Amino acid sequence: MARSDLLLAIVRSGAQGDELAFRRAAEALIAEEEGKRHGVLASQLAEALTAKRPISNIASIARNEAVAGLLYERVPERRLTSLVLTASVRQSVGELLEEHHRRDLLRSYGVEPRHRVMLVGPPGGGKTSLAEAFATELAVPLLTVRYEGLIGSYLGETASRMEQLFETVRMRPCVLFFDEFDTVAKERGDTHETGEIKRVVSSLLLQVDRLPSHVVVIAATNHPELLDRAVWRRMQLRLALPQPTRAAKVEWLSSWAERNKVSLGLSPRTISDRLGDVSFAELEEFALDVQRRQILNGPEPDSNQVAQRVLEHWSHRVDTEAS
């Protein structure tokens, strides 16, 4: 049985002729049925909501194939506990998750949980990992926008594809992830940008505004200075993920070794100091390198020797990149 508050919202908005409120309530109802694994009912409701004219099977198949080229979908696995976050970021993330886990209480007061998040930080700082952890904790799929499929070369093509993308995701609970968000949300006041880009940004902002709260939009960028100012106003939660400190790297290495039951051969402090200025993504690459070499060296590898050898390779790699 559907929740009474959603049914009441549907009837009330329909009676008042408020199409946007009606669609949001109907989409929330569809998302709830999806969450209960009532797939047949959810599909019937979605078809009823979007049925404006008959669509042939050929057209339907073509539309689904087009949408598949706009999104990369996967089941998230990374947990929030596996991430090393600052105290303020962890608190903010916890509060946002609580809002979604207790959304029924919020909605009983006519309030929706926040669902638009901006992540800012250098490459490899954990933005993508945090987006995946959000999806894991909410038990929803992670949908990553594929810019190579979204951005077209013809006038109006990108905005049209963007509308199609948002129309597809709005009726299912998910985390919609825009990596390198500045690709499609650049400052419209930039005189070097074309009118097409400005139209794309305007369309993007309109579509984000229309999304229901069961679609959590997470945007990530390494270049916040390039984003349109109106983008910042849309984002209800803005989190900074800085380059990891020495203490954060030590904590990450210790946590990774414990979770994966792998001896790194050297203390996390020693490894952190030897690696120098690296990101969390690079730390994970290093740890996986050590694990691979230990597996290939037989059942009883010399962990210290393996770690020293991998560190030597990494030292050469860092020197090469820096030169």
Give backbone dihedrals phi and psi of 222, rounded to 5 degrees, phi first. Answer: -95, -10
Tell me if 63 sits within 8 A of 157, measured CB to CB: no
Number of residues that make up the chain:
323
Measure the CA dihedral 154/158/164/166, to 10°. Answer: 180
Mean local confidence (pLDDT), 223-251: 93
Q: d(Cα 262, Cα 258) in Å, to the nearest integer?
A: 7
Average pLDDT of the chain to the nearest whole number: 84
Q: Is the pTM of this model over 0.85?
A: no
Pure H helices in 211-245: 229-234
Confidence band for 67, pLDDT divided at 50, 70 and 90: low
Mean local confidence (pLDDT), 57-86: 73
Give backbone dihedrals phi and psi of 149, rounded to 5 degrees, phi first. Answer: -90, -25
Residue 323 pLDDT: 45
Strand partners, 118: 219, 238
Say if residue 95's pLDDT is above 90: yes
Tell me if 268 sits within 8 A of 237, measured CB to CB: no
Say if residue 321's pLDDT is above 60: no
Confidence band for 290, pLDDT divided at 50, 70 and 90: very high
Mean local confidence (pLDDT), 42-71: 57
Q: d(Cα 3, Cα 26) in Å, to the nearest integer?
A: 12
CA 139 to chain centroid: 13
Confidence band for 7, pLDDT divided at 50, 70 and 90: confident
Say if residue 244's pLDDT is above 90: yes
Mean local confidence (pLDDT), 37-57: 62
Residue 58 pLDDT: 35
Mean local confidence (pLDDT), 95-121: 94
Taking the alpha carbons at both ends of the chain, their separation in whole angstroms is: 64
Best mean pLDDT range from 39-43, 114-118, 163-167, 222-226? 114-118
Residue 98 pLDDT: 97
